[in-house]
Amino acid sequence: MGPANVRLNPIGAAACFAFGLCMVIYIFGFPDWFQKEQKISLKELLSVSIALVERGGNRVRDIREGNTLAEKSKGKTKEGADEVLTEGDMESHRAIVYGFAKTFPGLQVISEESDIRPVSFKLIDNVNSKNDEVDKLIKNDMSVPFNKVTVWVDPLDATQEYKGYKTLEVIEGRADAYVHTTRIKKWDICAGNAILSAFHGKMTTLEGAFIDYSSRREVVNNNGLLATLFDHYKYLEQHIAKPMEHNKEKR
C-alpha cells in the first residue's frame, strides 16, 4: 500500500484555530496587553459633576415649591437620630446618579440612596461635559483610569444640617477644627474633605489616618474625624489623642 497524502484544509484549520482561541479567551480572559485601558478626563468629570449637582438642586427646589417633599423615616442612626428620606432625596439621586451613568458608562458611583426603579436612558437629558469656568481655571487636563475613580453622592434634601458646612467653617477661619467623635457616612464628608485638601488642610480619623474613599464595601468611617487647616497633627496629639488616652486610663 502506497503512502497516503494528507492535505490540510485551510478553512478547517482556521476554524479550529479560531475556536481554540475563543475557548482560551473565554476561560482566561483577554491578556492585559490586548485590553485598552479606559480613561476619564478629570476636567470633563468636574464639569459634568457641576451640571448634575445643579440639575439635582433644581429637582429639590421644584419639589419644595410644590410642597411634595413626602418625608418619611428610613430608621435611626446608632446615635438615635432619625434618618429621613424625602422625594427630594430620590429625585436628586436619580438626576445625579443616572446622569453619571449615561455620560460615563462604567464609572463607579456610590450614593446615599438606592433606587430599584428601572430607568430608560432615553428619558435622561444629555449633560454638557464642558464648563467655561472650569476651562478658565484649569488649563491642563489629566486623564486617569476609570477604575481609579469613585464618585460619592449625597443627594440634596435640605431636611438636616449639612456636614460639609462644618468643614467650610474651618476653611473660612471661623473655627479652628471640626471634630466628630462617632461613626459617620463617607458621603457626608467627602465633598468637604476635597475642598479642605485643595486649601492644603487635612481631614483624618481621630487615629490620624486618612479616610479611604476607594471602597464600595465600606461606606462608614467608624473612627471619628478631625478637620483642620493648620497644625493638624499637633492639634490631634494635644487635644484629641491625649484626652482620649486619659479617658481610657480612667476606665
Query: What domains appear along the chain, each with residue ranges and CATH number?
Result: 39-153 (3.30.540.10), 163-250 (3.40.190.80)
As given in the structure block, the three cell numbers for residue 4 are 497516503
Give me the chain's average pLDDT, please.
79
Verdict on whether the full-model pTM lies above 0.75:
no
| Lowest mean pLDDT, pick from 57-61, 196-200, 236-240 | 236-240
Predicted confidence at residue 38, as pLDDT, reads 86
pLDDT tens string 131-148: 999 999 998 999 999 888
Predicted confidence at residue 121, as pLDDT, reads 79
Rounded-to-integer distance, Cα 80 and Cα 20, Å: 60
Categorize the per-residue pLDDT at 33 as very low, low, confident or very high, splitting at 50, 70 and 90.
very low
Residue stretches of the annotated binding site: 188
- The single-letter DSSP state of residue 3 is P
Please list, in sequence order, all residues whose beta carbon lies within 8 angstroms of the beta carbon of residue 75, skipping any fewer than 6 positions away: 82, 83
pLDDT tens string 48-102: 999 999 998 888 888 777 665 555 545 445 555 545 456 677 888 888 999 999 9
Predicted confidence at residue 249, as pLDDT, reads 46
Please list, in sequence order, all residues whose beta carbon lies within 8 angstroms of the beta carbon of residue 27, skipping any fewer than 6 positions away: none
State residue 16 phi and psi, 5-degree precision: -65, -40
Residue stretches of the annotated binding site for Mg(2+): 188
Q: What is the mean pLDDT of residues 14-24?
A: 60
Q: What is the mean pLDDT of residues 116-126?
A: 79
Predicted confidence at residue 246, as pLDDT, reads 45
Rounded-to-integer distance, Cα 48 and Cα 127, Å: 6
H helix count then E strand count, the chain: 8, 11
User: Percentage of residues in the chain with pLDDT exceeding 90?
Assistant: 44
Strands 143-145 and 177-180, sheet pairing: unpaired
Q: What is the mean pLDDT of residues 174-187?
A: 92
> Is the distance from CB of 111 to CB of 134 less than 8 angstroms?
no
pLDDT tens string 141-168: 999 998 889 999 987 655 555 577 899 9
